[in-house]
Chains A and B, each alone.
Chain A
Amino acid sequence: MTAASATRTPAIRIEGMSKWYGAFQVLADIDLTVMPGDRLVVCGPSGSGKSTLIRCINRLEEHQEGTITVDGIRLDENTRNIDAVRKEVGMVFQQFNLFPHLTILENCTLAPRTVRRMSKSDAEARAMHYLHKVRIPEQAGKYPGQLSGGQQQRVAIARSLCMDPRIMLFDEPTSALDPEMIKEVLDTMTDLAQEGMTMVVVTHEMGFARRVADRVVFMDRGRIVEQKPPEDFFNAPEHPRTKLFLDQVLGH
C-alpha cells in the first residue's frame, strides 16, 4: 500500500470483529481493510465463514465484537447508519433473489423509486442503461422465471447497479449456475472490475481470482488465514491449510 492510499478513507474497514451463533463462533477476530477500487476475492472451504463475513458488511448479519466501518460509516444498531451503508453497498446473491412478481425492468426500478424517490421515467432510463451494460436489454419486459440462470444473475447485478453503489458484494454469484452460464456472469463482473468498482467476491472460481482480483483472502474456521496478491497466493501459499485447499480446488 502506498503512502497516498493510506491517507484515503478505506471503503471497508473491519477491526477485531467476531460473531457467534449461540455458543458457536463463526467469525473470529477478523481484521480486513478494503480500499476504494480494490478487488478482493474471499475463498475457503465451506463453513469457513466467508459468506457470513460479507453479509456482515451490509448487516444482513450482526456482529457481536469489534467494528465494521463502511465508507466512514460505523455499522452498529443505529438503523440510520445501516440504511446509509446499504445505499452505498450493492449485493449479489448465490440464488439471484430477483423479485418473481415483477418484470426485469420493475426489478431494476423498485429500489431507486422507493429508496431514492426517483421518478418512473428516470428510474427506467437508468435501468435500461444498466440492462444494456449487462447485455440483456431485450429481456426488460419479461419475468425472472422466463430467464436462464445466467441471465437472472446478470439482472441481479444490474438491479444492484441501479442504486449507484460504491461497493459491490458478491456472495458465490456463480455457484447456482450451469457451467455454460458461469462465463457470462464472470465476464460481466470483470467489466465491472475494469471500470474501477470496489468489489468483494466470495467465490470458488480460482481463474477469476487469478485474472481479476488484486488480493485473495483465504479463510478457514472463521479466521482469515492468509491474504496476498493472487500470484503469490497461488504460487507461494505459506499456510499448510491454504496449500491443502489449493491442492483440492486446483487438483482436478
Chain B
Amino acid sequence: MEFLTSLDFSPVWQYRWPLFWGLVETLWMAALAFAIAVPAGLGLALGRIYGGWLVNLPIMAFVDLMRFTPLLVQAVWIHFALPAVTGMNFAATQSAMIALSLHVTAYVCDVMRAGIIAIPKGQGEAARALGMKRRAVFFHVTMPQVWPLVLPPLGNVAVASFKLTTILGILAVDDLMKVTNRISTLTFRTFEFYTTAAVIYLLVGLLLTFAVHRVERRFGASRLERSAARADRASLAAARGAVAAGPRTVEPPPDR
C-alpha cells in the first residue's frame, strides 16, 4: 500500500518529448530494418532453394548464426569489431541498423523459404508446360501464392523487430528504451518510467497487430475461399459482358 501511494507519474508528462522522440527513433529503426529484411530475406530464400550447395551453405550458416546468437552480441560485434577489421567507422545508429537488419533478414529468409516450398510442384510444372520462362513463373504463379501464406508469419516478424529495438540501446542509440533508462536514473522514478514505456510498447504492438490483421483479411490465404460471393457476381458480370458483346467473343481466334 505504501508502495502504491508513493508512486508519482507526474514527471512522466514533464519528459513527454524525450519519450516521444525515443518512440520515433524506435519506430523508424524497426520499419527500416523490416523494409530492408523483406527483399533481402526473399533473395536469400531464393538462394537457398534454387542455388547449388555453394550458395546454399553460406546462407544457411548466416541464417543460423543470426538466429542462434543474441542480437545484443551481434550489435557489439558490428559496432566494435567490424571497424577494426574493415577500417570503416560506423555511427552507433548505423551499426544498430545493420545489426537489426541482418538479424531480421535471417528470420524473413526462413519464412519466405517455407512459403515458397509450400507451393505444390505441379504449379511450376503447369506454367512451364505452357511455355512460361522461370522469371514469369516466379512472378505470376509462385509469388502471388506465396504472399498470402507468409503474411501472418511476416507480421509476427514485424512486431518482433519492433520489440528487438530495445536491445540496441547497448550502443549509443536513443530509442525509447534507452531514453526511458536515462530518465529513470535521472529522476529515480524507475518504476514509473519503465511502466510508461511498457504501456507504450503494448499500445504500439497492439496497433501493429491490428494493422497486420487488416492486411491479412484483405490479402490473406483465406481470401480465395471467402471470395465465393464476389466471384459469383464477377462471373455474372462476365456472362452479361459476353452476351452484350454478342457473337464476337465466340469467333475463332485468328490463325497463326
Contact = CB atoms under 8 A, between A and B. Distances in A.
Contacts of B132: 110-111, 114-115
Contacts of A141: 231-239
B145 A97 contact: no
A244 interface: no
A228 interface: no
B234 A103 contact: yes
A160 B129 CA distance: 9
A146 B229 CA distance: 10
Contacts of A132: 249-250
B242 interface: yes
A192 B210 CA distance: 52
B141 A99 contact: yes
A129 B122 contact: no
Given A110-B140, A143-B224, A143-B231, A105 B238 contact: yes
B227 interface: yes
A97 B119 CA distance: 11
Contact of A140 (B125, B238, B256): B238
Interface-centre pick from B130, B231, B235 (highest chain A CB count, 10 A) = B130
A240 to B, nearest CB: 35
A142 B224 contact: no
Interface in A65-124: 83, 86-87, 89-91, 93, 95, 97-103, 105, 110-111, 114-115, 122
Interface in B230-256: 231-239, 242, 248-253, 256
A142 B125 contact: no
A97 B236 contact: no
Contact of A90 (B129, B141, B256): B129
A103 B231 contact: yes
Is chain B's binding surface mostly helix, strand, loop or mixed?
Answer: helix
A111 B231 contact: no
Name the interface size band of chain B. Answer: 35 or more
A142 B228 CA distance: 8
A128 B250 contact: yes
Given A100-B224, A115-B136, A142-B231, A86 B251 contact: no
Contacts of B52: none
B123 interface: yes
A163 B224 contact: no
A164 interface: yes
B87 interface: no
26 contacts: A60-B128, A60-B129, A83-B133, A86-B128, A86-B130, A87-B131, A91-B129, A93-B122, A93-B126, A95-B122, A97-B125, A98-B126, A99-B127, A102-B144, A103-B231, A110-B130, A122-B253, A125-B251, A125-B253, A129-B252, A129-B253, A140-B235, A140-B238, A142-B232, A145-B225, A146-B231
Interface of B: 120, 122-123, 125-133, 136, 140-141, 144-145, 148, 224-225, 227-228, 231-239, 242, 248-253, 256
